[in-house]
Amino acid sequence: MEKDPQLSVMGGGLVGCLLSLYLAKQGYKVEVYERRPDLRSAELAGGRSINLALSDRGWRALETIGIAEDIKKVAIPMYRRVMHDVQGNLSFQAYGQAGQAIYSVSRGGLNKALLDLAEAQPNVTLHFQEQVLEVELSTNEVTLLNTASGQEHTIQPDVLFAADGAFSMVRLSMQKTERFNYEQSYLDYGYKELTIPPAADGGWQLEKNALHIWPRGQYMMIALPNMDGSFTCTMFFPYDGEVSFKNLQTEEQVQSFFQKVFPDAAALMPELTQEFFENPVGSLVTVKCFPWSHAGKVVLLGDAAHAIVPFYGQGMNAGFEDCTILRGLLEEHGTDWETIFKTFQEVRKPNTDAIADLAVYNFIEMRDKVADPRFLLQKKIESK
């Protein structure tokens, strides 16, 4: 049976979709507003494969909505790190005990699966090309721009869940309230996605069940496997300085740099220079803020509440865990939103601050320490 309050979720990304499913399964009527067109539409199919590492926290959330098994069929377990040195020699570190792994999943594939599930709920309505412009917090009035028609309109939900990502417009409205703490910090590094295509026989050109790292001290590249036999590589690299994106301006510079520092990977990248100049450089931001809720009527979650850098592979996993915690609180406190949101932010904030700091630290570990022979020896001793 449907309950009364009108709930709106801003953002139909990974976290917004999962949350809307949870809310719908508890009997609420939910409207989801997403800025982009529907990912599942034919015109948007194809494009680059971008993948994410899904780990325990994420799996737990997917299990509760019964899609863990389906997603596992299109997820690739990565049992270990494989480090590539400049000569192409490999070294290995297991992620856990035998059989334990983190999983490479397609971001788009997972988002589409969650959209399908959300849409299948009779009490969820998805609205695409609806961009939140601002929220009037005194009345909970949300101004939306329909990007297809160019028309603005307003809605006034009873409760607003903001899963609109690292650059959340809902959070921006909250930033204008008194005693709202906000901090954002960017790394001096950006990232660029590149591809190692499948082998001629459709197989993987590097070890399939592994996360590959090319640690180079001040920078690095990583690669995660995709189901189609390709790998998505991500190069984390300084914006400025002698060795930086600024100094890779021509095809010759890119080719000679890759052949010098990532020779084994470069040999597997026929489209390297084309991709290098076509694909954008993404920025790496940490966002911390508090409180995450306003007057028991608005709450931030996922990247909107706590954007972190990707070096622990935990941003989405932490956002999914937000949903798991919120779900438990909804079961416990019914529609006492004030209590639910206060408890939620108090329980989650120390954890998300911790993973935010660990993620920044892990960049140094991944780009530098994993290549240190003393570290490898230590790992061998630990695993004995």
Nearer to ligand FAD, 205 or 352 (CB): 352
Task: Encode 3-52 in three state secondary structure.
Answer: CCCEEEEECCCHHHHHHHHHHHHCCCEEEEECCCCCCCCHHHCCCCCCEE
- 28 Cβ neighbours under 8 A, 6+ residues apart: 2, 3, 5, 7, 123
Separation of alpha carbons 7 and 274, rounded Å: 45
Minimum CB separation of residue 384 from ligand FAD in Å reads: 29
* 167 or 277: CB nearest ligand FAD: 167
3-state secondary structure of 271: coil
Amino acid at site 62: L
How many Å apart are CA 314 and CA 208, to the nearest integer? 21
The values of phi and psi at residue 40, to 5°, are -85, -5
> Residues 135, 175: contact at Cβ < 8 Å?
no
CB of 267 to ligand FAD, least distance (A): 24
Which CB atom, from 31 or from 34, has the smaller least distance to ligand FAD?
34
**What angle, rounded to 10 degrees, do the helices at 315-333 and 14-25 form?**
20
d(CA 93, CA 81): 5
Residues near ligand FAD (CB under 6 A): 10-16, 33-36, 52-53, 131-132, 163-165, 169, 191, 234, 282, 302-303, 310, 313-317, 319
Minimal distance, residue 81 CB to ligand FAD, in Å: 13
Nearer to ligand FAD, 168 or 205 (CB): 168
Tokens linked to 271: 């489209």
- CB of 60: closest distance to ligand FAD in angstroms? 13
**Residues 319, 325, 327, CA angle at the centre, nearest 5°?**
105
Query: Is 170 or 340 the residue whose CB approaches ligand FAD more closely?
Result: 170
Least separation in angstroms between CB 310 and ligand FAD: 3
> 């160019």: which residue's tokens?
150
Q: What is the dihedral of CA 362, 308, 12, 305, to 10 degrees?
A: 140
8 and 142 in contact (C-beta within 8 Å)?
yes
Quote the CA–CA distance of 305 and 242 in Å, as a whole number: 35
Shortest gap between Cβ of 319 and ligand FAD (angstroms)? Answer: 4
Question: C-beta of 234: minimal distance to ligand FAD in Å?
Answer: 6
User: By C-beta, is 204 or 312 nearer to ligand FAD?
Assistant: 312
> Smallest distance, Å, CB 87 to ligand FAD?
28
Closest to ligand FAD by CB, 53 vs 266, is 53
Residue 221 Cα to chain centre, angstroms: 18
Q: Give whichever of 9 and 88 is closer to ligand FAD, judged by the CB atom.
A: 9
Please state the closest distance from residue 232 (CB atom) to ligand FAD, in A: 10
**Integer Rg of the chain from CA:** 22
Which residues lie across from 3 on neighbouring strands?
A: none
Q: Which is nearer to ligand FAD, 239 or 376 (CB)?
A: 239
